Amino acid sequence: MKFFGFKREWNTLKYSIAKYREVRYTQPPADWKSYLLWQKNYLDSLRKYQNLHAGKECFIIGNGPSLNQMDLTKLNGLYSFGMNKIYLIWDRVDLQFSYYVSVNPLVIKQSKNEIENEITCPRFISHIAAQDVIDDGKDIERVYTRSGWEFSSSPLKRMLSESATVTYVALQLAFFMGFQNVYLIGVDHNFQQKGKPNEQQKMEGDDLNHFDKRYFSGQQWQLADLEASEIGYRMAQYYYSKAGRNIYNAGYDSKLEIFPKVDFDFVVRKTRAVN
């Protein structure tokens, strides 16, 4: 049985690599002038995060409705990554996170005030998406991202791939920081939508795909691309495993089956003991 399980995972990885190559060689090359300017102005600021939390554990907080079933205050005092419009939860939950990540241009534009003025932890934003939108400021870190699935262990050496989800970027940053075990919560991997993946639409009515009905209500958003996200997740699983590290799904009601599922309350207690 173990052999067949390995064969299935190997075939999945081969498919992921094939899809990455397909995109890599059909997309236009990166804007090298922009990349070199980013290297000159922003790369050195990232060096202080390399292996900063070696051997520690952290949580990556998604934005799915399942967050409303969880006591997120249990994460306070633990290492965690908030993403995109997680700040909307502050109206009702005193959640403190260690780092913030956002790479989608629509989300960054819609969150300009919060990124610049309300979120005070280090904020990792896509350099390309945030150009001419987010002003430079204390603890605003710009990472160079691009579409595709290639896993980058260090933004100092290679661009971070987005794989159609900010969660994949957060996983690469957590790896760069040296975290040993990463727990996902709120990554429900389940969307109510009509249209093609990545299609831009205006959301009419309440947003039922996120923890807050205001999330994209009345605003532009891009439809989720779950297949592309899964390719990135499998790449992350492979590289974490290869390095002797782990990714777990500690969320409630998550449809994401790639990572082993664990109990949220148990790993919170465990993480407090380890960290």
CA 52 – CA 43 distance, rounded (Å): 16
Domain ranges of the chain: 45-274
Q: Residue 274's beta-bridge partner residues?
A: none
pLDDT for position 17:
54
pLDDT digits (tens, 9 = 90+) for 129-158: 999 999 999 999 999 999 999 999 999 999
pLDDT digits (tens, 9 = 90+) for 12-51: 555 555 544 444 433 434 578 888 899 999 999 999 999 9
- Chain-centroid distance of CA 28 in Å reads 24
Model-level pTM? 0.89
Q: Which residues contact 196 (CB under 8 A, 6 or more apart)?
A: 223
